[in-house]
Structure 1
């Protein structure tokens, strides 16, 4: 299989409503649900939940 068929590039959007995003890759076979990570949002200067956009 090609590299980009399984590991897709996803955008993680801040739940704080600042519009700040991170870009990462995820394995769609192992994680079929939306990805949620706790990462740093420099706009509000704290760690918040970042959720995958579709």
Structure 2
């Protein structure tokens, strides 16, 4: 049985296009204490846009 690592936490990435679309991912809080910013596909606007970490 695998134990969940306390350093990795689940974060929600929300689209900056204002559509409300989200992605869920995990990140290591020790290595990346800043908020994540990723360029991913938003199917509601059918384009690649920035997704920022939401807290």
Scaled to the shorter chain, the TM-score interval is: over 0.9
Secondary structure, aligned partner of 2:14 = strand
Secondary structure, aligned partner of 2:6 = helix
Shift of 1:3: 2.5
Question: How many equivalent pairs are there?
Answer: 53
Matching of residue 10 in structure 1 with residue 11 in structure 2: yes
Name stretches of at least 5 consecutive residues in structure 1 with no aligned partner.
Answer: none
Could you list the structure 1 runs, at least 4 aligned residues long, displaced by more than 3 angstroms after superposition.
none
In structure 2, distance between residues paired with 1:21 and 1:3: 23
Shift of 1:18: 0.1
RMSD, aligned CA: 1.0
TM-score (norm. length: structure 2):
0.91
Secondary structure, aligned partner of 1:38 = strand
Structure possessing the higher radius of gyration over alpha carbons: 2
